[in-house]
């Protein structure tokens, strides 16, 4: 404030004090200010309030927080029929051998987080397949009911110890030539990995093998083909409908019944991992056939990490989940900061642009006034939302582009109001005195006109924020917002995209909270704007 004189600073402080005294006596204004302060506090502390970060609640993030459209945890209080729904549950499972005796060719040990199976055919000289069964048991306390999803993660690695070379006879130029064909690091054995699920009633479900996709149209309990390769794989088994339903032979109409049948009742459940080793054969990728090799070369190690099993619940968090299984409460909390930033930034840019255009047009007049007002007329005649959609499609789906474009289409009305006020102000004696004393036009506009139009600008700024917030929400709802920002409009867009209010779902907890947040925020600024309007326009003051 160094550009203000001491007297001017004293006057400004007095005006601010008097404004606050008048504002504090306005109940509607204080209600609006209280709401706005709550919003600002939540926006500032949103990274600590929200259970999940912005990265974790994006719809393109594959990691679910719970099942899709999971109910809020308190749903059982108001709806007894929803009591006892399964919660999100995670188990860290350790494999242990199910069979107590093994052939001499098999040995086993456990390291931290892994179980290692060693095979050496030299110890038995037999080409019979050898099977090792590992099991992990857990207790699930809920009945399946509406349970739809579970996922499981584990790593496995097979390391055959020998590189096998086979020889093939071919004819080149009429001559018989024997050429060596190395089979990579396949070794002298094949192996098969399978994963079974045994529910509390003892029913067995064949849910995975290393080439499960080849079994889609076969008997789900048929033995999968052997593999022979040196490979490391990370398995993320998600029982979302397509994979397991096709594999287990369920029709598309009964996909969800599959997981419910697997988790049929509370009790002990078992995961069974089956490792089968077949010595003396390897797969030739060139001929697509099995090739017999000496069994004494069959040596290798199979390492299997302990499993992480997650059963996605039907109730989750304070506001449940959306159609992608992401926490709605976290998205709502992060939306406070983004929606407030968009509303305030767009309104500030808009009123600043409108104020200076109005001052320039009103004070300079002539060709400047005519040109600026015709631009205003053209912009006022354009359909705002369709033009915004086109421009956002051209410039990209970025939240700051949205701010700029909203501001560009939001200043025209204020510029007309400021222009009309400046036309009156420039005829006042204090302006004529400034001109007579040699003040420049820029000096007069900045030092005399701007301070006199600030009350109107302030009231317009406060009332412009709700419009900017609603415009951003509308653009996001239509799919033209920033896809990487969890705004309230984006939550509504996700709800519409995933049919949150369809006949079979009616996930009201995805739609009501963001709509309520937008309404209350806009109402807060309307209340504040109403109070400010009464103060800066004495004719509108209530009689007290």
Closest C-alpha to 88, from 152, 154, 150, 138: 150
Give the residue from 276, 311, 346 where a domain finishes. Answer: 311
Q: What domain count does the chain have?
A: 2
Pair (126, 271) in one structural domain? yes
Domain assignment of residue 275, given as a range: 88-311
- Identify whether 55 is part of a domain: no
DSSP secondary structure letters along 196-214: EEE-TT--EEEEEETTGGG
**Highest-scoring range by mean pLDDT, 156-160, 368-372, 531-535:** 368-372
- Identify whether 538 is part of a domain: no
**Highest-scoring range by mean pLDDT, 127-131, 187-191, 292-296:** 127-131
The per-residue pLDDT for range 83-98, each reduced to its tens digit, is 878 888 888 988 888 8
- Identify whether 387 is part of a domain: yes
End-to-end CA distance of the chain: 35
Question: H or E element: which one contains 153?
Answer: strand 150-160
Task: Specify which residues 91 forms β-bridges with.
Answer: 309
- Identify whether 32 is part of a domain: no
Pair (370, 448) in one structural domain? yes
Q: Residue 76 to residues 70, 83, 84, 325, 540: CA-CA distances in angstroms?
A: 13, 5, 8, 20, 50
Pair (197, 95) in one structural domain? yes
- Identify whether 48 is part of a domain: no
Pair (287, 337) in one structural domain? no
The per-residue pLDDT for range 234-283, each reduced to its tens digit, is 444 443 333 443 444 433 434 455 677 778 788 899 988 888 777 777 66
- Identify whether 64 is part of a domain: no
The per-residue pLDDT for range 458-506, each reduced to its tens digit, is 888 888 888 888 888 888 888 887 777 788 988 998 888 888 887 566 8
Pair (331, 464) in one structural domain? yes
- Identify whether 249 is part of a domain: yes
The size of the chain, in residues, is 544
- Which whole number is the average pLDDT over 170-198? 61
Q: Which two tokens stand for residue 419?
A: 């222009």
Pair (148, 200) in one structural domain? yes
Pair (300, 411) in one structural domain? no
Cβ 510 vs Cβ 500: under 8 Å = yes
Closest C-alpha to 302, from 180, 157, 514, 413: 157
Confidence grade of residue 56 (pLDDT, cut at 50, 70, 90): confident
Pair (222, 302) in one structural domain? yes
Pair (456, 341) in one structural domain? yes
- Identify whether 541 is part of a domain: no
Backbone angles phi, psi at 110, to 5 degrees: -120, 135
pLDDT > 70 fraction of the chain, expressed in percent and rounded: 77
Pair (158, 216) in one structural domain? yes
Pair (427, 505) in one structural domain? yes
Pair (190, 263) in one structural domain? yes
List the CATH number of the domain containing 230: 2.60.120
List the CATH number of the domain containing 478: 1.10.3720.10
The per-residue pLDDT for range 412-471, each reduced to its tens digit, is 888 888 888 888 888 888 887 888 887 788 888 888 888 888 888 888 888 888 888 888
Q: Which two tokens stand for residue 335?
A: 């939306």
Alpha-helical regions (H) of 138-273: 241-248, 255-262
Give the residue from 277, 311, 345 where a domain finishes. Answer: 311
Q: Quick one: pLDDT at residue 238?
A: 41
Whether the pLDDT of residue 230 is over 60: the answer is: no
């Amino acid at each position: 404030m160094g550009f203000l004189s001491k007297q001017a600073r004293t006057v400004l402080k007095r005006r601010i004090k008097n404004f606050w005294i008048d504002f504090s006596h306005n109940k509607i204004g204080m209600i609006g200010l209280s709401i706005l302060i709550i919003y600002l506090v939540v926006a500032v502390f949103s990274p600590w309030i929200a259970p999940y970060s912005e990265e974790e609640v994006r719809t393109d993030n594959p990691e679910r927080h719970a099942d899709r459209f999971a109910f809020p945890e308190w749903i059982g209080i108001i709806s007894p029929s929803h009591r006892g729904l399964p919660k999100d549950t995670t188990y860290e499972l350790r494999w242990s051998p199910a069979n107590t005796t093994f052939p001499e060719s098999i040995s086993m040990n456990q390291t931290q987080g892994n179980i290692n199976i060693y095979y050496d055919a030299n110890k038995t000289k037999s080409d019979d397949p050898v099977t090792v069964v590992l099991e992990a048991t857990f207790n699930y306390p809920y009945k399946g009911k509406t349970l739809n999803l579970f996922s499981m993660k584990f790593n496995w690695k097979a390391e055959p110890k020998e590189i096998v070379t086979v020889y093939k006879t071919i004819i080149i130029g009429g001559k018989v030539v024997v050429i060596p064909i190395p089979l990579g690091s396949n070794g002298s054995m094949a192996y098969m990995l399978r994963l079974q699920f045994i529910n509390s009633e003892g029913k067995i479900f064949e849910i995975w093998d290393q080439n499960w996709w080849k079994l889609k149209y076969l008997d789900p309990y048929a033995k999968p083909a052997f593999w022979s390769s040196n490979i490391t794989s990370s398995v993320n088994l998600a029982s979302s409908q397509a994979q397991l339903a096709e594999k287990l032979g369920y029709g598309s109409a009964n996909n969800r019944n599959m997981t419910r049948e697997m988790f049929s009742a509370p009790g002990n459940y078992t995961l069974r991992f089956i490792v089968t080793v077949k010595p003396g054969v390897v797969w030739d990728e060139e001929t697509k056939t099995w090739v017999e090799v000496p069994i004494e070369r069959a040596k290798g190690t199979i390492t299997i990490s302990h499993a992480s099993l997650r059963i996605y619940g039907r109730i989750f968090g304070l506001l449940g989940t959306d159609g992608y299984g992401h926490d709605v409460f976290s998205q709502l909390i992060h939306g406070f900061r983004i929606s407030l930033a968009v509303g305030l930034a767009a309104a500030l840019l808009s009123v600043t642009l409108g104020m200076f255009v109005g001052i320039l047009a009103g004070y300079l007049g002539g060709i400047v006034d005519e040109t600026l007002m015709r631009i205003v007329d053209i912009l006022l005649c354009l359909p705002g939302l369709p033009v915004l959609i086109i421009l956002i499609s051209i410039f990209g789906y970025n939240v700051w582009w949205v701010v700029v474009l909203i501001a560009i289409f939001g200043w025209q009305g204020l510029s007309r109001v400021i222009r009309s006020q400046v036309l009156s102000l420039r005829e006042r004696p204090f302006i004529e005195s400034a001109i007579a004393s040699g003040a420049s036009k820029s000096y007069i506009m900045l030092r005399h006109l701007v301070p006199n139009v600030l009350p109107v600008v302030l009231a317009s700024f406060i009332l412009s924020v709700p419009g900017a917030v609603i415009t951003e929400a509308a653009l996001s709802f239509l799919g033209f917002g920033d896809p990487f920002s969890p705004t309230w409009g984006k939550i509504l867009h996700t709800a519409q995209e995933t049919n949150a209010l369809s006949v079979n779902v009616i996930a009201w907890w995805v739609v009501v909270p963001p709509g309520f947040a937008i309404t209350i925020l806009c109402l807060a600024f309307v209340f504040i704007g109403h109070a400010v309007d009464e103060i800066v326009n004495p004719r509108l003051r209530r009689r007290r």
